[in-house]
Amino acid sequence: MESISSEQYFRDIYDQYWEALYQIANKKTNAHDDALDIVQDTFTYIWNNVNILRQVETGKVRAYLVTCLYYRIFSFFKAKGLRNKHLQFFQILTEHNVEQTISYGIAETDEELTAINLAIMSELDKMPVRMKELFLQNHLHDKSIHELACEYRISDKTVSNQISIAKRKLKDFARSYPTTELVPLIILFLTKD
């Protein structure tokens, strides 16, 4: 796959996955034009980060694209104020010390994990590009600090510092995330060494 140009790689990905992403976006928004805009934004992001996508294992490309799409769907609804209502709901629960005894089923767990994943991606997008890349390569692709130092031609200490800063930022984010039964999973994920 490395032998083809980034432009051709992007075109192949676009041709293979555009319709599937559109179907998901259309189902979630129930609005053709909004779905088209969201898919376009997703592929704009993918184009701008095509080198990161090329590092994703072939069998995980669709999952990566869907995660990127869900982030944009989440942002779309956030812009419409739906997330604020969600946060207000959790604030009311917290203020009134209402105990959450939610028993998560498979669908609810999947939805919550998707939301958490999107929120983490949003936080990662706020980081400097290299910090984000180092964290993802270390955390998702199990590349060692030394491997990353060699690949990026920087010192092991620099890689270690960048990953530590990213983890700290994500842990701070996790502490501020609305409390649900799955938040401990975020912390577990972020503290993985």
| In the chain, domain spans | 1-80, 114-193
- Mean of the per-residue pLDDT values of the chain: 76
Distance CA 190, CA 184 (A): 10
Tokens 């510092």 belong to residue = 161
Q: What local confidence, expressed as pLDDT, does residue 78 receive?
A: 65
User: Which of the pair, 64 or 145, is modelled with greater confidence?
Assistant: 145
CATH class in words for 114-193: mainly alpha
Residue 154 amino acid letter: I
Hey, what are 121's tokens? 């991606």
Q: Which of 4-13, 54-63, 98-107 has the lowest mean pLDDT?
A: 98-107
pLDDT at 167: 86
Q: What is the distance between the alpha carbons of residues 193 and 190, in angstroms, rounded to a whole number?
A: 8
Instruction: Give pLDDT, residue 154.
Output: 95
Q: Is the pLDDT of residue 80 over 80?
A: no
Within its chain, how far is the Cα of 178 from the centroid? 17
Q: Please report the pLDDT score of residue 109 as a whole number.
A: 52
Task: Specify the range with the lowest mean pLDDT, choosing from 9-13, 36-40, 78-82, 118-122.
Answer: 78-82
Give the tens place of pLDDT for each residue, 88-99: 544 444 444 433
Confirm whether pTM is higher than 0.85: no
Is-same-fold flag (1-80; 114-193)? Answer: no
Please give the backbone phi and psi of residue 25, each rounded to the nearest 5 degrees, phi first.
Answer: -60, -40
Please name the residues in contact with 95: beta carbons below 8 A apart, sequence gap of 6 or more: none
Q: Nearest CA to 98 among 187, 179, 177, 175?
A: 179
Tell me, which fold does domain 1-80 have in CATH? Answer: Rna Polymerase Sigma Factor; Chain: A (1.10.1740)
